[in-house]
């Protein structure tokens, strides 16, 4: 019996002896992580919920959770929860202004929906419900883009908010996928009453991991890769200038290398790399 208990514990905490190839991405990777690292995901979600209790720490908790899940999603295996705690402490006050702004927008959407109850049977009720739902969905989508970015990039709050709005529109298909995931999760929690509290921790783990899987490729393609290409081009430009200076001074090595670096520079520039 102890042998079976050890096997269950090893599976739950991801201590598997047999290495299996991790799916490259998408839903298959999410399901792989949920199945093989159930314990670590549930513990991280429990820690996330504890960190949300003071309310003002919700932005930091979201940043820490996205950073932890993002690291797991990118590398394909679980990590120690100390990584979560380090990220939480570093984000404790930085993202509070953005959290307050997004929280106010979300509360405004909820206020419009609750106000609709005063206009039962009229067209105003439908209008308020529609606008309130739209405000909540937009706020939720922008929040998703913001906090996934915050877990990946060292940018200011203003830059993260600006990017979040732009990415939510530019990557509208991914935004729709994220909205659909959010609606499915909310509907499942409502249908699962009175067992919602029991299912909240594993459900939140699956939801946040799926949200990260939907949003992260858009940030990688629109922000990270162009930035890295710019760094490579800048390094090549610097090397070309160095060789040109050597050429002007009559350095034979500079005369030979300048042709090669110019070729690389213009070749990459032509390909948009």
Mean pLDDT along residues 149-164: 89
> Model confidence at 172, in pLDDT bands (50, 70, 90)?
very high
**Has residue 174 got a pLDDT over 50?**
yes
Q: Give the model's pLDDT for residue 11.
A: 60
* Residue 243 falls in which region: left (phi positive, over 0), alpha (psi -120 to 50) or beta: alpha
Q: What average pLDDT is seen over the chain?
A: 80
Mean pLDDT along residues 241-254: 57
Q: Give the model's pLDDT for residue 107.
A: 93
**Residue environment code for 47-84, b if the CB has 16+ CB neighbours within 10 A, otherwise e:** bbeebbeeeebbbbbbbbbbbbbbbbbeebebbeeeeb
> Model confidence at 263, in pLDDT bands (50, 70, 90)?
very low
Q: Give the model's pLDDT for residue 252.
A: 47
Task: Give the integer Cα–Cα distance in Å for 77 and 36.
Answer: 8
Residue 138: both structure tokens together: 């937009």
**Has residue 246 got a pLDDT over 80?**
no
pTM, two decimals, is: 0.77
Q: Give the model's pLDDT for residue 255.
A: 46
Least confident span in 42-56, 145-159, 163-177, 220-234 = 220-234
- Give 32-53 as a DSSP string: HHHHHTHHHHHHHHHHHHHHHT
Write the pLDDT tens digit of every residue in 103-156.
999 999 999 999 988 888 888 888 999 999 999 999 999 999 999 998 888 888
Using the 8-state DSSP alphabet, how is residue 223 labeled?
Answer: I
Q: Provide the percentage of residues in the chain whose pLDDT is more than 70.
A: 77
**Has residue 18 got a pLDDT over 90?**
no
**Domain residue extents for the chain:** 1-94
């Amino acid at each position: 019996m102890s042998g079976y208990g050890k096997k269950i514990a090893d599976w739950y905490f991801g201590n598997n002896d047999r290495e299996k190839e991790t799916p490259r991405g998408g839903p298959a990777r999410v399901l792989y992580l949920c199945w093989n690292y159930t314990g670590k995901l549930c513990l991280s979600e429990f820690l996330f919920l504890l960190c949300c209790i003071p309310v003002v720490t919700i932005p930091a908790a979201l940043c820490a959770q996205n950073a932890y899940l993002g690291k797991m999603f990118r590398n394909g295996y679980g990590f120690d929860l100390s990584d979560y705690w380090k990220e939480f402490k570093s984000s404790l006050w930085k993202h509070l202004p953005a959290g307050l702004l997004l929280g106010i927008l979300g509360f405004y959407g909820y206020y419009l929906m609750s106000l609709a109850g005063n206009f039962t049977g009229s067209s105003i009720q439908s209008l308020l419900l529609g606008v309130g739902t739209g405000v909540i969905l937009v706020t939720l989508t922008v929040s998703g883009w913001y906090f996934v970015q915050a877990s990946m990039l060292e940018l200011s709050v203003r830059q993260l908010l600006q990017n979040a709005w732009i990415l939510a529109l530019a990557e509208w298909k991914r935004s729709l996928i994220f909205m659909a995931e959010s609606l499915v999760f909310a509907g499942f929690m409502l249908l699962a009453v009175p067992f919602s509290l029991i299912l909240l921790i594993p459900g939140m783990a699956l939801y946040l991991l799926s949200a990260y899987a939907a949003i992260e490729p858009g940030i990688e393609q629109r922000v990270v890769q162009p930035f890295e290409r710019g760094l490579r081009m800048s390094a090549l430009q610097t090397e070309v200038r160095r060789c040109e200076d050597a050429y002007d001074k009559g350095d034979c090595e500079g005369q030979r290398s300048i042709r090669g670096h110019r070729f690389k520079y213009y070749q990459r520039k032509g390909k948009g790399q």
